[in-house]
Amino acid sequence: MTDRIRFIVVPLLGFVVTALPARAHGQVGAQRWTTAGTELEAASGTLAVSETRPIPRAAVASGLALSGRGTPFVIAPRVDGIAGGLATDAVTLEAWVSIDTPTQWGGVVGAIQDNAEAETGMILGYGYEKPYFGIASTGVDDVDGKLTYLESSKPYEIGKWHHLVGTYDGTTMRLYVDGEPVAESRDQSGPVRFRGDEPLVIGGYVDRNEDHGLDGRLLEVSILPEAISAAEVRRRFARHADLAALPPEIDTTLAWMVEPFLVWPTTDAMSVVAETMAPSAMEVRVRDESGDFQRTWRNEQAARIHEFRIEGLDANTKYFYEVVADAGKSSLSGGVKTFRTAADRGDPFTFVAIGDTQSQPAVVKRIADLAFETRPSLLVHAGDLVTTGGDKGHWTNHFFPNMRPLIDRVAIMPVLGNHEQDAKLYYDYMSLPDPERWYSFSYGDADFFMIDGNRSLADRSAQLEWLETALAASDAEWKFAVLHQPPWTSDSDDYGDTYQTSSKRGDPNARNITSLLEKHGVDLCFSGHVHDYERTFPMVGEDVVPWDEGGVIYVTTAGGGGHLEDFDPANTTFGHRKARRHHFVYCGIHDGILEFQAMDEDGRLFDVLTLDKRDGRRSVARAAREGVEIAPKTPTWRDAPADGR
């Protein structure tokens, strides 16, 4: 999705709009749908609903309450499948709607594609604060199409019924809220531009890679093959003006939108995050195994998303926790679950690394369940948690449900992938150390450096300077870097088509970190992005150098669910172990030893590695590279190193 451009022009009151002549021959006429119970009924001569999706919804006194977990009603999967097609010379989109939960790209009715630079169709929707009306036309000089999102000059009120109308007469877009004009734009001209694959939907915003369901109430929707006048807008508003006069009302059904999960573990604290479908107060009850420690953290302020920082805990200790939400006389429990605080220096621990869980929910579920079978201490995620970070349904319907019970009991520490789109929802859900976009944390004898590969890592960039400072300050025995984009990869086509031409062999921006990793003794660098598994030979610069002489091992672990990719048909100079399969990585650390395993979605072990620091050779080699001499420890290798190494 590209960044949308919005135009806000408040019109003078009292202008008159003349409706254009009727639609072109054969195009569908006026369309009107009304709610009936939990369904959508088509008026006479109106297109019937072709698909009703199993999205949670409920009949209410006026209209239909929708959960926001996806778009429930598909009128046509493609507009080019509508006999005669939709009117394009002029159009009016109209809806009576009440919005419970603001979102960046909320939709009410539309047929749209907004993907990268290709933008076509029409939509009536809402953002975080204001309604909008979107049109792409043939008159715009853009080969792929360009949408104008016309935003209201006035905000909507959460929980209140509003009458939204967008009109387009071939030259001017106008937006009305509750019978009054609120914005105008002449940025578009000519017929509405469709490419044919836009789905016509009601109750959400849907295109090829997004589905933003309406969280609120819906009464009726119309699509008219003309631009109705301001007087007609006022007349149509008057039909249900009694609804607009009602006080705000928000669905207070108490249910989990996102059940409690764990994030950001330290030796003395843990974060718990949960979301209810309606605003609620919330508390977390925590006790240890003996019952000597019992405390409750409570937030009385009604909200949907609650984030708790549970502090004052003991290191490497098991606790029980229960999250309870309440609103009015209703109460909701997340059940009693467990967590363990972070291991302290010197304590053994385990962790799993997973990446690219953005698609194929059945695969994500299998991987997460297998990872939980190992009962890891920590979950590290290499990015692309979801397909579209700004799509709430991708979080609530795909990521969170399929990662359970792993994230109920094991804290997750992620990095941003490109699919997160730096969206607000990522930061709403993930409670991370500042500044969250990048950060570091300690666990046992390891320090993890969590890097944002979407932002600049160039010399003197803020992030690279942070990384150098954080690495220099680390006294951990084990150091791990994690970022989404791989500095090195043997992939077939992400960085150049290796079947036809050359490849960059990795992300150029990400490769800016490699000299720092080498300088400061980072052992492993985990990445995602390329949907396969690869473990390189240890590397310094572009050369293969033994790990015990300071080489850094790069691991691509992007097999959490994304559709699999392939490798260069010829091996690279650095390429070592590869596998085209869904998988996760398991690591155990104890007494200067790291045990590394890669396991596929069927539970088969396909890669094993042991790294041993007890002889001190790696520290000596790295120090020598920096011109410092230190004595090695007594060798403890199972196989003695070759002479002269």
Query: What are the pLDDT digits (tens) for 433-445?
Result: 999 999 999 999 9
| Tens digits of residue pLDDT in 353-404 | 999 999 999 999 999 999 999 999 999 999 999 998 888 888 998 999 999 9
- Summarize the confidence of residues 234-251 as an average pLDDT: 92
Task: List the domains of the chain with CATH numbers.
Answer: 6-244 (2.60.120.200), 256-340 (2.60.40.10), 349-625 (3.60.21.10)
- 632/259: higher pLDDT: 259
- 101/410: higher pLDDT: 410
Name the token pair of 426: 């990522």
User: Three-class SS of residue 243?
Assistant: helix
What is the spatial distance between Cα 352 and Cα 22, in angstroms, rounded to a whole number?
Answer: 62
| Residue 137 DSSP code | B
CB-based contacts of 355, cutoff 8 Å, min separation 6: 381, 382, 383, 384, 417, 484, 526, 527, 528, 529, 556, 557, 558, 559, 560
Q: What percent of the chain has pLDDT over 70?
A: 92
- Nearest residue to 126 via CA among 85, 166, 87: 166
Name the token pair of 541: 């610069």
Confidence (pLDDT) at 3: 41
φ, ψ for residue 354 (rounded to 5)?
-135, 150
**Model confidence at 630: pLDDT above 70:** no
What is the spatial distance between Cα 593 and Cα 619, in angstroms, rounded to a whole number?
Answer: 14
CA distances in angstroms from 394 to 130, 210, 389, listed in the order given = 23, 8, 7
| Residue 635 DSSP code | P
Confidence (pLDDT) at 390: 82
- Summarize the confidence of residues 86-111 as an average pLDDT: 94
Question: What count of other Cβ atoms lies within 10 Å of the Cβ of residue 307?
Answer: 18
**Model confidence at 16: pLDDT above 60:** no
Q: Using an 8 Å Cβ cutoff, are 371 and 406 in contact?
A: yes
Confidence (pLDDT) at 367: 98
- Summarize the confidence of residues 32-45 as an average pLDDT: 95
Confidence (pLDDT) at 642: 40
CB-based contacts of 378, cutoff 8 Å, min separation 6: 265, 342, 349, 350, 351, 352, 410, 411, 413, 443
Ranges assigned E (strand) in 424-550: 439-443, 446-450, 478-482, 524-527, 533-535, 539-540, 543-544
Q: Using an 8 Å Cβ cutoff, are 124 and 164 in contact?
A: yes
DSSP 277-319: EEEEEEEEEEEESSSS-EEEEEEEEEEEEEEEEEESPPTT-EE
- Summarize the confidence of residues 185-204 as an average pLDDT: 96
Q: Using an 8 Å Cβ cutoff, are 341 and 319 in contact?
A: yes
Estimate to the nearest angstrom the gap between the alpha carbon of 5 and the chain centroid.
Answer: 22
What is the spatial distance between Cα 153 and Cα 8, in angstroms, rounded to a whole number?
Answer: 7
What is the spatial distance between Cα 409 and Cα 429, in angstroms, rounded to a whole number?
Answer: 16
CB-based contacts of 444, cutoff 8 Å, min separation 6: 342, 343, 344, 345, 346, 347, 348, 349, 377, 589
| Tens digits of residue pLDDT in 522-564 | 999 999 999 999 999 999 999 999 999 999 999 999 999 999 9
Q: Are strands 478-482 and 524-527 parallel, antiparallel or unpaired?
A: parallel
Q: Using an 8 Å Cβ cutoff, are 49 and 77 in contact?
A: no
| Tens digits of residue pLDDT in 454-469 | 999 999 999 999 999 9
CB-based contacts of 467, cutoff 8 Å, min separation 6: 438, 449, 451, 457, 513, 516
The Cα diameter of the chain in Å comes to 92
Q: Are strands 349-354 and 378-381 parallel, antiparallel or unpaired?
A: parallel
Q: Are strands 412-414 and 378-381 parallel, antiparallel or unpaired?
A: parallel
CB-based contacts of 354, cutoff 8 Å, min separation 6: 367, 368, 371, 379, 380, 381, 382, 557, 559, 560, 584, 585
- Summarize the confidence of residues 19-29 as an average pLDDT: 55
| Tens digits of residue pLDDT in 597-627 | 999 999 999 999 999 999 888 888 777 777 6
Ranges assigned E (strand) in 536-630: 539-540, 543-544, 553-557, 577-579, 583-590, 593-600, 605-612
Q: Using an 8 Å Cβ cutoff, are 441 and 433 in contact?
A: yes
What is the spatial distance between Cα 540 and Cα 520, in angstroms, rounded to a whole number?
Answer: 12
> What stretch of H or E contains 271?
strand 269-288
Confidence (pLDDT) at 49: 97
**Model confidence at 13: pLDDT above 90:** no
- 254/194: higher pLDDT: 194
Name the token pair of 567: 């490798």
What is the spatial distance between Cα 415 and Cα 417, in angstroms, rounded to a whole number?
Answer: 6
- Summarize the confidence of residues 560-578 as an average pLDDT: 93
Confidence (pLDDT) at 21: 37
**Model confidence at 224: pLDDT above 60:** yes
- Summarize the confidence of residues 146-154 as an average pLDDT: 96
CA distances in angstroms from 576 to 488, 490, 527, 546, 553, listed in the order given = 12, 9, 16, 13, 10
**Model confidence at 17: pLDDT above 80:** no
CA distances in angstroms from 328 to 280, 305, 401, listed in the order given = 8, 17, 27
| Residue 56 DSSP code | -
| Tens digits of residue pLDDT in 497-523 | 888 888 899 999 999 999 999 999 999
Confidence (pLDDT) at 558: 96
CA distances in angstroms from 85 to 47, 113, 488, listed in the order given = 11, 16, 49
What is the spatial distance between Cα 236 and Cα 76, in angstroms, rounded to a whole number?
Answer: 26
What is the distance in angstroms between the CA of the first residue and the CA of the last residue of the chain?
52
Name the token pair of 465: 């300077």
The amino acid present at 224, given as its one-letter code, is L
- Grade residue 328 by pLDDT with cuts at 50, 70 and 90: confident
Confidence (pLDDT) at 231: 98
- Summarize the confidence of residues 208-230 as an average pLDDT: 93
What is the value of pTM for the model shown? 0.77
**Model confidence at 1: pLDDT above 70:** no
**Model confidence at 639: pLDDT above 60:** no
Q: Using an 8 Å Cβ cutoff, are 80 and 194 in contact?
A: yes
User: Three-class SS of residue 424?
Assistant: helix
**Model confidence at 116: pLDDT above 90:** no
**Model confidence at 493: pLDDT above 90:** no
